[in-house]
Structure 1
């Protein structure tokens, strides 16, 4: 294996946030259809209208939500902060997004713990995307507490996974692994947590443990490109180049036009061809 390959492999799937698509992760937490009020309520109608503007004109949605927030209270102010945070996310205004999501969380009634956990997780993601992992961990820890009190394993696992990203960013790898173990215990059938655990273990040079984790991820999501890439990385660093070729080629075969496929092609170009390929004129 070349030195170039060794360097290249270290920039594979990364457990540190913000990951590719961080904006989409935040935009989908909570789902846009999760309205604070019933669909017939004017507050809910305003929120839907604001959300509809996000893709077309996020700057306008941002201004609209700021005005609404300054003029309202209670549930109306919560939904204004909700849309403001999403619009700020679209615009890459991470501090604005964090402030808005924290505001939405704090003004949500204390008994609505599930909603508070969602907004807290979104705030933590915004903090991490904005380069403040320490604040992200603080926000995500509160979100986990709210999710646990709401008996929502899904939300608690989500917050724990994101906290792991923040902990890795601060080089607190033991705590990050513990957070991923919590997420995987709560949501054992979600491939993301196993992928992140495999990636972190691989970077810690615990290749046997990384292999076990990536095998679980592959079983859960066999067609996921990032999982195929990581499986190949672990294989090649373990001296199993044939297995690495198979993993990377599978990514190319199943997702030929994806970014993951292009990365797989780059990886394949850095290792020697298989013996049968060398023997072919």
Structure 2
């Protein structure tokens, strides 16, 4: 096997150190929002949680202090909301362990009530630990979050959690379990391109190239213009002996976003092929 084929057999979203948890982040953790454009009177936060989360965007340190005070004096749902806000503030400060602890404290304040909110907070805690690289602890939290999501009859949430579980399981070398988790994610989220992309990546890593091809085609159908899908499609094509198709896929990534990280990676693959 050539050097490029050996490398392609392993690379992908599961093994990129800087890769993020894949489950959709809650709105308060998404940076691409309307905050920079300002808000009108109808958009101003109304609840204590909304006000606290709004503060995490502009002044996370102050929000963390306020949320900590709120947490210490609250019980039940109010305590859960305070832990939620404290965790978000700490995520913004990239204090991952502390953020996870805050989310867990909020989750545990519910004591079996509101399993959907428990699942959400547990998943956020697991994601924080994934960002810190504490994979086994993250998986423990995600397993509990999955159970809570099932109790709440929230299949979409469970599907997202399954994708995060798959990332953790791959990192722990438990690929068969990761494959099962992604199967569950695809069943719950059949229109989610990321679930199909991750499935294709894992199938390719496991040497299941026919399955990988079908899965990457579905991902591309759902999200036709996506750099990571283009990169993965090229890897699968190359490992399947279709060099011309791989070249075309990688060149499309370079053309779509010149100078981007994905384009630079695609260009490096093309240069390796040209140098063989």
TM-score category by the smaller chain?
A: 0.7 to 0.9
User: Which of the residues 119, 123, 126 maps onto 2:125?
Assistant: 123
Distance 1:17 1:214 in 2: 19
Distance 1:181 1:8 in 2: 26
Q: TM-score normalized by structure 2? A: 0.85
Shift in Å, 1:81: 0.7
> What corresponds to 1:206 in structure 2?
208
* Pair 1:233 & 2:232 matched: no
> What corresponds to 1:218 in structure 2?
220
Query: Residues 198 and 210 of structure 1 are in contact (CA less than 8 Å); yes or no, is this contact kept in structure 2?
Result: yes
* Pair 1:85 & 2:84 matched: no
> What corresponds to 1:106 in structure 2?
108
The alignment covers a number of residue pairs equal to: 261
Distance 1:146 1:48 in 2: 24
Q: Which stretches of structure 1, 4 residues or more, deviate above 6 A after TM superposition?
A: none
Mapping 1:14-163, distance limit 5 Å: 14-16=13-15, 20-22=19-21, 29-32=25-28, 45-108=47-110, 110-163=112-165
C-alpha spacing 1:91/1:6, structure 2 compared with 1 (3 Å) = farther
What whole-Å deviation, never above 9, does each CA across 1:131-161 have from its counterpart, x for those lacking one?
A: 2222222211221122122221110101111
Structure 1 gaps of 5+ residues are 34-39, 274-281
> What corresponds to 2:260 in structure 1?
258
C-alpha spacing 1:18/1:127, structure 2 compared with 1 (3 Å) = farther
C-alpha spacing 1:48/1:149, structure 2 compared with 1 (3 Å) = same
Query: Residues 30 and 119 of structure 1 are in contact (CA less than 8 Å); yes or no, is this contact kept in structure 2?
Result: no
Shift in Å, 1:199: 0.9
The DSSP-based 3-state class of the residue aligned with 1:271 is: helix
Query: Residues 29 and 119 of structure 1 are in contact (CA less than 8 Å); yes or no, is this contact kept in structure 2?
Result: no
Q: TM-score normalized by structure 1? A: 0.83
Distance 2:157 2:103 in 1: 16
Shift in Å, 1:79: 1.7
Bigger Cα displacement from structure 2, 176-185 vs 57-66: 57-66
C-alpha spacing 1:31/1:55, structure 2 compared with 1 (3 Å) = closer
Structure 2 gaps of 5+ residues are 30-41
RMSD: 2.6
Shift in Å, 1:121: 1.0
